[in-house]
Amino acid sequence: QVQLVESGGGLVQPGGSLRLSCAASGDGFTIEFMGWFRQAPGNQRDFVATMTTGGTTNYADSVKGRFTISRDNGKNTVYLQMNSLKPEDTAVYYCNVRGQYTTWARRYNSWGRGTQVTVSS
């Protein structure tokens, strides 16, 4: 089992910033893919930003120029820096990490429990 714990969510005013963190823990695993998704009330869970092991990033059109995904390999942690936040960014943000176990031929696809981001004046 690879466990993910998100943190950094909260209430922020429009135009403000937040940084989300997602720490992965477990025994004997490597990370191949990291991503952030979000789900607003009444909506499906949508892609926000992703990063591969090689450093290739991809962003949803709605967040390009405002959000930045990054990582700290030594800490097995992925971040989402969110700037110029808008009310429509309000959602539960979920971390997703994929990879493989080092001691057995098996891959994993883990999701965090989510962290609430509310953008409101």
pLDDT per residue as tens, the chain (121 positions):
899 999 999 999 999 999 999 999 999 999 999 999 999 989 999 999 999 988 899 999 999 999 999 999 889 999 999 999 999 999 999 999 999 999 888 999 999 999 999 999 9
Distance CA 1, CA 12 (A): 33
CA angle 19, 99, 74 (to 5 degrees): 50
Work out the burial of residue 57: count CB atoms within 10 Å of its CB; fewer than 13 is exposed, 13-18 middle, 19 or more buried: middle
Distance CA 70, CA 52 (A): 10
